[in-house]
């Protein structure tokens, strides 16, 4: 028994914030942002939108593509760092908005690796026979946890959601999953605030040591890709597509170079979306599926790294 992705979907908020717009908000420039990150614009959620709202649209698109309805879904996993509220989980709120009843629903918090963690978890449920169709979603509203006076972080992130339907299959889809974490690096990328006594203790905004994150990300992303292909008796050059976490074009380019992959084999969406954390991989996947780049029987590797640090990869046959 195997699991396969049978449908993809995504959603981006209507508001677009360009680099030129940011020039009027913070001390930065379009050239500085583009040359260092590859980002030209990002989408920003409306004040009244929450993560489950973005996830709802992405899921509806994925379910339509998969040809399933709410009655067919028997598991919902939402990867998010920006949940609707402390509790209940965003997955439970999403379940209600979708009109789905009586199936397991829970959140996964692994920051930018969240979708990889969620997909690996769903694969265990589906391939073991515990469920038939799982909704796996990455949904983020990072605009709510950004310090808009900090030019080192506010230019990097955007809002959005991406989703897949993972279904039981008699032929291999997901070939292997690989998850890692190292909490010893938690101080170089975090949003360290917490709630105590009804007040926020510490800062709720993103804090990042950019150079340290870059070096760590390139190192572990190369390692986890080699781990995935080696376990399946393949070479990195056997991959048809690499779909990386969309954090920074330099990280993406450096990883591809170390793996010996042409950028023509890499799906890039960071220029239009910025870093959407757990949503970035399924957003990029949906783009490449819908524009026809991804074709049946192709070999695809998705990989990501995020605060924690967490990192991981999923190797699959489309």
Which residue(s) pair with 138 in the sheet?
79, 162
Residue 318 CA to residue 316 CA, distance in Å, equals 6
Distance (Å, whole) CA 259 – CA 125: 31
275 included as an active-site residue: yes
Q: Burial level of 4, CB count in 10 A (0-12/13-18/19+)?
A: buried
**Cβ atoms 245, 280 nearer than 8 A:** yes
Query: Of the residues 19, 61, 248, 275, which is catalytic?
Result: 275
Instruction: List the catalytic residue out of 61, 245, 248, 273.
Output: 245
Nearest to residue 310, comparing CAs of 174, 211, 182, 122? 182
Q: What is the DSSP letter of 239?
A: -
Concerning whether 112 is annotated as a catalytic residue, the answer is yes
SS3 at position 199? strand
Q: How far is CA 251 from CA 38, 142, 256, 280, 291, in A?
A: 10, 20, 9, 14, 24
Query: What is the rounded distance in angstroms from the CA atom of residue 286 to the CA atom of residue 62?
Result: 9
Active site (annotated) includes residue 19: no
- Looking at 59, 92, 112, 154, which residue is catalytic? 112
Torsion of CA 65, 67, 69, 75, to 10 degrees: -70
Q: Known catalytic residues?
A: 112, 245, 275
């Amino acid at each position: 028994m195997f699991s396969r992705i049978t449908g993809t979907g995504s959603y981006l908020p209507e508001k677009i914030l360009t680099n030129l717009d940011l020039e009027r908000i913070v001390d930065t420039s379009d050239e500085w942002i583009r040359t260092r990150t590859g980002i030209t614009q990002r989408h920003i959620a409306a004040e009244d939108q929450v993560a489950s709202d973005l996830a709802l649209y992405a899921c509806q698109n994925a379910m339509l593509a998969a040809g399933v309805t709410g009655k067919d879904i028997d598991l919902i996993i939402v990867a998010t760092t920006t949940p609707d509220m402390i509790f209940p989980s965003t997955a439970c709120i999403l379940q209600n908005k979708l009109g789905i009843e009586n199936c397991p629903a829970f959140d996964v918090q692994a920051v930018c690796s969240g979708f990889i963690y969620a997909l690996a978890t769903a694969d265990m449920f589906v391939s073991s026979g515990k469920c038939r169709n799982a909704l796996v979603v990455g949904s983020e509203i990072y605009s709510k946890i950004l310090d808009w006076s900090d030019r080192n972080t506010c230019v990097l992130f955007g809002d959005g959601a991406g989703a897949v339907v993972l279904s039981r299959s008699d032929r291999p889809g997901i070939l292997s999953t690989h998850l890692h974490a190292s909490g010893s690096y938690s101080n170089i990328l975090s949003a360290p605030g917490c709630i105590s006594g009804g007040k926020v203790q510490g800062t709720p905004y993103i804090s990042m040591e950019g150079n340290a994150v870059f070096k760590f990300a390139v190192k572990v992303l190369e390692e986890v890709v080699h781990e995935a292909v080696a376990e399946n008796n393949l070479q990195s050059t056997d991959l048809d597509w690499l779909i990386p976490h969309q954090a920074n074009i330099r990280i993406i380019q450096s990883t591809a170079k170390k793996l010996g992959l042409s950028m023509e084999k890499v799906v890039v969406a960071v220029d239009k979306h910025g870093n959407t954390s757990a949503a970035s991989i399924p957003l990029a996947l949906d783009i490449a599926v819908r524009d026809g780049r991804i074709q049946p029987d192709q070999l695809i590797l998705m990989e990501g790294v995020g605060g924690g640090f967490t990192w991981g990869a999923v190797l699959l046959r489309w």
